[in-house]
C-alpha cells in the first residue's frame, strides 16, 4: 500500500536534501520526507515490509554504491515496487541519462537548479501531485 503522506528522496548530497526539505516547508506540503543516500539503501527500505511504500520517489542519478540507473533497473522489475512513480532529480544533463531514465519508465526528469526560486518552481509542479496523494485511496 502506498503511504499518502511520504515521499522517498534518494539523494547522497546533504545540501540537495536540505533544499528539498526547505522547498517542501516553503510550499506548505503535508507530505513527509524519507531519505536514502544511495540506491542500495533505498531498495532495502522499499523491500522491507515494515515500511509503507511512498507515494512518489525523487531519485538522484549520481550516487555511490548503487546509482540511480542501477536502482531503476532493479526497482522497475519488482512487481511490488514498479508502480511507484519516480521523478529523476539530478544535475546530469547527459543525453544517455535522460534517455535511459525514460526507458526505465520514470514519470519525469528534473535538472537540479542552483537558483532556489527556479528549484522551488519545479517543486511546485510536483506539489500538485503530492496533494493528490493525500486524497483518500477509495475515491
User: What is 2-133's CATH number?
Assistant: 3.40.50.2300
- Report the distance separating Cα 80 and Cα 82, nearest Å: 6
pLDDT band at 1 (very low <50, low <70, confident <90, very high): very low
Please choose, from the candidates 36, 16, 40, 38, the residue with its C-alpha nearest in 3D space to the C-alpha of residue 122.
16
Question: Which three three-digit cell numbers place residue 119?
Answer: 528549484
pLDDT band at 89 (very low <50, low <70, confident <90, very high): confident
Range with the poorest average pLDDT among 3-7, 25-29, 65-69: 3-7
H or E, element range at 59 = strand 53-59
**Number of continuous H segments (helices) and E segments (strands) in the chain:** 5, 5
pLDDT band at 76 (very low <50, low <70, confident <90, very high): very high
| Opening angle at CA 21, ends 16 and 23, nearest 5 | 95
Evaluate the CA torsion angle 41, 45, 47, 48 in order and state its sign.
positive
Annotated domain spans of the chain: 2-133
As a whole number of angstroms, the longest Cα–Cα distance in the chain is: 40
pLDDT reading at 2 higher than 70? no
Give 77 or 121, the one with higher predicted confidence: 77
Give 24 or 54, the one with higher predicted confidence: 54
- pLDDT by residue (tens digit) across 23-53? 888 888 777 889 999 999 999 999 999 998 9
**pLDDT (0 to 100) of residue 3:** 46
Question: Which three three-digit cell numbers place residue 70?
Answer: 542501477
**pLDDT (0 to 100) of residue 113:** 67
Cell 535511459: give the residue: 100
pTM of the model: 0.84
- Report the distance separating Cα 85 and Cα 106, nearest Å: 7
- Report the distance separating Cα 128 and Cα 89, nearest Å: 17
pLDDT reading at 139 higher than 50? no
- Report the distance separating Cα 42 and Cα 59, nearest Å: 10
Amino acid at each position: 500500500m502506498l503511504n499518502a503522506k511520504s515521499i522517498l528522496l534518494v539523494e547522497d548530497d546533504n545540501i540537495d536534501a536540505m533544499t528539498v526539505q526547505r522547498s517542501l516547508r516553503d510550499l506548505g506540503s503535508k507530505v513527509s520526507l524519507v531519505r536514502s543516500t544511495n540506491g542500495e539503501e533505498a531498495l532495502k527500505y522499499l523491500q522491507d515490509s515494515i515500511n509503507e511504500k511512498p507515494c512518489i520517489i525523487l531519485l538522484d542519478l549520481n550516487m555511490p554504491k548503487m546509482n540511480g540507473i542501477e536502482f531503476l533497473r532493479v526497482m522497475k522489475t519488482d512487481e511490488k515496487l514498479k508502480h511507484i512513480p519516480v521523478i529523476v532529480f539530478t544535475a546530469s544533463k547527459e543525453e544517455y541519462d535522460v534517455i535511459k531514465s525514460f526507458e526505465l519508465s520514470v514519470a519525469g526528469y528534473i535538472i537540479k537548479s542552483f537558483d532556489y526560486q527556479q528549484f522551488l518552481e519545479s517543486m511546485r509542479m510536483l506539489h500538485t501531485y503530492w496533494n493528490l496523494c493525500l486524497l483518500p485511496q477509495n475515491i
